[in-house]
Amino acid sequence: MNAETRVDMSPITDPPPIPDGITHWHGHATGSWWAIVPTQHGPRLVEAPSHDALAVTVHGYLRTWTR
């Protein structure tokens, strides 16, 4: 995440686990957390400022995709 990136997310008190099968990692060069999430339009690369925020973001994509 660069200095111009803004994160608008409430504090996370009880993050869900990232499901098995979702590839995710911490970018040492970027300092961000990343995941590849399946969507109805193909895989999507998502970024988050923390592991907890990534878990919430991944679950958000999965809930939207499975509807």
One-letter amino acid for residue 12 of the chain: I
pLDDT in the model for residue 7? 58
Distances (CA, A) of 31 to 17, 26, 47: 20, 7, 10
Domains of the chain by residue range: 23-65
> pLDDT by residue for the chain (67 residues), tens digit each?
445 555 566 667 788 899 999 999 999 999 999 999 998 889 999 999 999 999 999 998 888 865 5
Main-chain phi, psi angles of 15, to 5 degrees: -70, 145
What global pTM score does this model have?
0.76
Q: Scanning the structure block, which residue is given the tokens 């878990």?
A: 55
Residue 22 · residue 37 · CB < 8 Å: yes
Q: Give me the amino acid identity at 34.
A: W
Structure tokens belonging to residue 62: 């999965």
- Is residue 51 within 8 Å of 26, Cβ to Cβ? yes
